[in-house]
Structure 1
Amino acid sequence: MKTSWRSLVFAGLLLSFGWVDQASARGVTKPLHAHPPGTAIASAHALATQAGFEVIAKGGNAFDAAVAVSAALSVVEPVSSGLGGGGMFLLHDAKTGKDVFVDARETSPASATPDKFLDANGKLDPEKSQNGPWSAGIPGLPAALVHVSQKYGRLPLKVSLQPAIRIAREGFPMYGRLVRAYSERREVMTRYPGTRATFEPNGVPLKEGELLKQPDLARTLQLLGDKGFDGFYKGDIAQKILKAVNDNGGHWNAAELASYRVKERTPISFKYHDWHVVTAPPPSSGGIALAEILQLIEPYDLRKMDQAHRIHLVVEAMRRAYHDRTFYLGDPDFVHVPQKTLLDPAYAAGLRTTINPDKATPSDLFPNTPTPLKEHDETTHFSIIDDQGNLVATTQTVNLLYGSGLIPTGAGFLLNDEMDDFALKAGTPNAFGVMGYEANAPKPGKRMLSSMTPTFMESKDRVAVLGTPGGSRIITMVLLGILGYDDGLNAQQVAALPRYHHQWLPDVVETEKGSLDAATVQSLRAMGHTVIVPGEVKGQRSSDAWGNLQTVEWNKVTGTMDGGSDPRNPVGKAEVRLDKAKTK
């Protein structure tokens, strides 16, 4: 059978405009699906994923589901996030086509001047920056739940909070990560009566499999649902927060709580190959760093490189982006962030000329003192696509394991220890080994710099939502996820990708256990990289596995949906539920 040149040209036009996929070009054409066939949710705990579907079944949309999932994670993952912390919500409204970034980052109380965090010798005191009342910022997550529900949801807030309230009241089984983290943090957490009452109701720590019931948290969530913003930031709960902070040596006032507000910001967006990427703006450092890295590496064909040279190139891009993070990024309401310059392809082109394709660039060209990274699975993330095409990517946190360790008596939630994310002493690394200067110094009401990087990516054929916890490694894990989707992987393959990381200082390439073969490690070292392989050198610290990436995708050509939940986290769950009316 002969094919006319006109047929070939027509097929080429269909392909170029995204009207058909490659298979269709060889046969029958397929129109792109206008809407997803159902809802996909991926979160770090099966109960939270279930909570999202519960409110979808009640007539809610992705934004109502986001409130339900966020609140449920606050109940079942107190080690990672909660009402006493903050978060960043990236939303896409399919009806208007608008992307919006809801910034619910914590803010600095007026009392938290840098001198309060120094010891007698003028050095940064981790006891003050990571534990107890001085380590906490004014919480933002409850305000975000109210804002997202009222402005973007269909259901009343109290309906979307019902699954979390029920789980808090009835309890859920303690799982391994909660038990291990409590053991690690117990010395701090048992200082506070509210914390002891929650995690040691019978005078001893709860064991794996025993029910963690949180009646005080259930009441707090009920107040939030009934009274909205005032149910948390004013009245009884506010008084409990103030008493806990001030009785334990801190200093907050009622006006600081009552004046907290979320901020809607314009997301960062850019192109990478055929993808339109939408991600987090400052005070997250994630979006700018992600854009810098991807613009640096875009001209290279990574698929044609051997593994060592591919990693070398990506690491060199990471190195330069994290250097810029250190010096230029902070809360845009307080400092000038040179965003236009940092996102300019011409700036990336200039940086690209400094990369040697076969040799590592030493980070000590910029003198400083590196410190070992400290890393756990703090922070959490969830991703949602609903049947209308609404998208949600949310990363939320209390910072380190169980935040400050302080639960205000009768309130049921842990306060964060996000003050450690400020540059409390210029040039001194924080718990994640990253440092900062004046751009990220604390001031009253200022938001600390974050690495949270909730992200959307869309091509002609596919839509993906992704994000992960992991401290300073968040950015590089999301980066590797984007590269995975660009390589054609599915959602679960993206969630399972092996990981590596470089953040300028310390000048090391960190790897997960088993993520790189011996030949690749040897080649990288021959190029001048210091590669840390877990367990290889006694006393050299690097986690065996990191992150907890949660991602969902919609294939507009096949009309199918998929979800990926990080296999490193045994309690996470990604699920797709189809709308039967749309699949007939």
Structure 2
Amino acid sequence: MHALAAGGNAFDAVLAALMAACVAEPVLASPGGGGFILALPAGREPRLYDAFVHTPRVRRPPAEACAREVITDWGTAQQAFHIGVGCAATPGLVAGMFAVHRDLARLPMPVITAPAVQAAREGIAVSQFMAYLMTLVAPIYLELPAARAIFGDPAAVAGGAPVPVKAGGRLVNPVLGDMLEQLAREGEALFYRGDVAAAIVRQSREAGGHLTADDLAAYRVQARAPLRLRYRDAALLTNPPPAAGGLMIAFALALLSGHDLKAMGFQTTEHMALLARAQAETVRARATAGPPREGVEAAWLGGDLLAAHAAALAGPLRSRGTTHISVIDAAGNAASATVSNGEGCGEIVPGTGMMLNNMLGEDDVNPPGPHAWPLDRRLASMMSPTAIVGDDGSLLVCGSGGSKRIRTAVLQVVSNVLDFGLPLPEAIAAPRVHVEDDHVSFEAGLSPAAAEALAGLFARTTAWPGLNMFFGGVHSVQRAGDGRLTGFGDPRRDGVCLGGE
């Protein structure tokens, strides 16, 4: 709201929110990470800014690379990650923000960054959600002294096991504030060729990383046309290949398009079984087709691959951290940004207050593992900032965090809105299902019959006791056909909406 009140547009606002997220949600967003920004300028062609992480050009021998496994415990499920400087890929978020600023923003970068700088220096109150998240990632953020000094509870008993900062405490990071202020003043060269770059390269060299000065200097944002498709009475714009998430959402919607979901009834046994099976067929399609590459959209969405999996859908069944920001302004500009630092590599870059990503150790981004990745290549991602342009002139901008669950979270919200006409709060808060291989997970709130049907379709079942951030966080804003603006933040990730109604 600061940027809009200062005369900025949706792109100023999304950049200000991203800067603030690096302070307020350091587990989910960092200058050391990457992401995607979908920009819809009023009266102009939309574009997708790919600012995701890029693999290094040279790989150190495994014996020299620092990569270690940690387990995060969600209570109902566990997930393994790899951390260490050897898991860091070349960050792209800073370059992406400056690219959007050059092309579309109005305000000077120091004005955009000022609230984040102030928050970092003065500290932010830790919410219940952030305290819960810090508990999940405590093995990463409390292992080493520099990170523990920022994210640990200063009131913890001396000599005892460190604990993360608690709800109601303050998270203060003045060094990060200083770095953001300098970055806004000097520009992205500071990060990719200047003092910050030198600090990243020095840490990488000394602590077992792969990043070099050449990796940082060579990083480039890639602007692409969004992936477009029709679904029901709307046009969908989302993240194109080489990212995986948008293509998988489009593929699942194409599978669902041949069925009358509204006639089935919302979250009935028939609806939930179809939704879960469409997710399962989408995973199988990715395994069949291999990693998505630029230009494969037609082969996925209009060829034999889709026909084969649509036929399978009619037959019997064969048996990780991200944040999102959506903005629409009064002039009709819209921006949808999804960014991630993975879980963070666990080590603070000296003199910056920030933690680099651990994307080389993220299974959903780099399945071969932290010691096996293609050189000098953009990693694929599930991140899928998305816009729904209705034939009635309406516009919905959304996206989600949630690792592998991003694609299924966005899929379900899109379907809830377009198939069932649910109001945005209900579409987002409805219980979700996620299928991965032979494993189905679903949230509490489904009917006993629907839950039983899902459990009977798959070899493994996890029933969650309530809504949980494991299933993503679809933060959305919407402009109705009459111009009325509304929004809704996903309660799973402590989402909020500012402005509108």
Q: TM-score, normalised by structure 2?
A: 0.88
Q: 1:79 to 1:64 in 2, by over 3 A?
A: same
Q: 1:113 to 1:268 in 2, by over 3 A?
A: farther
Which of 312, 334, 344 is 1:354 aligned to? 312
Q: Residue 165 of structure 1 contacts residue 218 of structure 1 at CA under 8 Å; is this kept in 2?
A: yes
Which of 480, 483, 487 is 2:412 aligned to? 480
Aligned match of 1:144: 96
Q: 1:277 to 1:206 in 2, by over 3 A?
A: same
Aligned match of 1:459: 390
For 1:459, give the aligned amino acid. Answer: G
Q: Residue 12 of structure 2 contacts residue 112 of structure 2 at CA under 8 Å; is this kept in 1?
A: yes
Aligned match of 1:199: 151
Mapping 1:505-516, distance limit 5 Å: 505=437, 507-512=438-443, 514-516=444-446
Mapping 1:285-364, distance limit 5 Å: 285-305=244-264, 307-328=268-289, 330=291, 332=293, 338-344=296-302, 347-356=305-314, 359-362=316-319
Aligned match of 1:78: 26
- SS of match in other structure, 1:573: coil
Aligned match of 2:4: 56
- SS of match in other structure, 2:198: helix
Deviation of 1:274 after TM superposition, in Å, equals: 0.8
Q: 1:496 to 1:231 in 2, by over 3 A?
A: same
Aligned match of 1:574: 497
Deviation of 1:118 after TM superposition, in Å, equals: 9.9
For 1:99, give the aligned amino acid. Answer: P
Aligned identity (percent) is 30
Q: Residue 327 of structure 1 contacts residue 437 of structure 1 at CA under 8 Å; is this kept in 2?
A: no
Q: Residue 80 of structure 1 contacts residue 397 of structure 1 at CA under 8 Å; is this kept in 2?
A: yes
Aligned match of 1:47: none
Q: Residue 239 of structure 2 contacts residue 384 of structure 2 at CA under 8 Å; is this kept in 1?
A: yes
Inter-partner Cα distance in structure 2 for 1:301 and 1:388: 36
- SS of match in other structure, 1:111: coil
- SS of match in other structure, 1:472: helix
Q: 1:392 to 1:117 in 2, by over 3 A?
A: farther
Q: After superposition, what is the alpha-carbon deviation per residue over 1:553-577, rounded to whole angstroms, capped at 9, x for unaligned?
A: 1111x3311101112233x211224
Inter-partner Cα distance in structure 1 for 2:234 and 2:304: 20
Listed as ranges, the gaps of 5+ residues in structure 1 are: 1-52, 363-374, 422-429, 537-541, 579-584
Report which stretch shifted further, 468-477 or 232-241: 232-241
Q: CA RMSD in A?
A: 2.8
For 1:308, give the aligned amino acid. Answer: T
Deviation of 1:246 after TM superposition, in Å, equals: 2.2
Does structure 1 residue 442 correspond to structure 2 residue 373? yes
Does structure 1 residue 390 correspond to structure 2 residue 390? no
Q: What is the number of equivalent residue pairs in this alignment?
A: 480
For 2:106, give the aligned amino acid. Answer: R
Which structure has the higher relative contact order (CA within 8 Å, separation 6+)?
A: 1
Q: Residue 549 of structure 1 contacts residue 566 of structure 1 at CA under 8 Å; is this kept in 2?
A: yes
Which of 338, 346, 351 is 1:410 aligned to? 351
Listed as ranges, the gaps of 5+ residues in structure 2 are: 71-79, 157-163
Inter-partner Cα distance in structure 2 for 1:252 and 1:524: 44
Deviation of 1:276 after TM superposition, in Å, equals: 0.3
Deviation of 1:115 after TM superposition, in Å, equals: 5.2
- SS of match in other structure, 1:568: helix
Inter-partner Cα distance in structure 1 for 2:64 and 2:427: 40
Q: 1:320 to 1:437 in 2, by over 3 A?
A: farther
For 1:271, give the aligned amino acid. Answer: R
Q: After superposition, what is the alpha-carbon deviation per residue over 1:510-567, rounded to whole angstroms, capped at 9, x for unaligned?
A: 101x13221112234455665421369xxxxx968632110111111x3311101112
Aligned match of 2:159: none
For 2:282, give the aligned amino acid. Answer: A
For 2:338, give the aligned amino acid. Answer: T
Greater Rg by CA: 1
For 1:313, give the aligned amino acid. Answer: L
Q: Residue 551 of structure 1 contacts residue 565 of structure 1 at CA under 8 Å; is this kept in 2?
A: yes
Inter-partner Cα distance in structure 2 for 1:528 and 1:491: 30
Q: Residue 65 of structure 2 contacts residue 209 of structure 2 at CA under 8 Å; is this kept in 1?
A: no
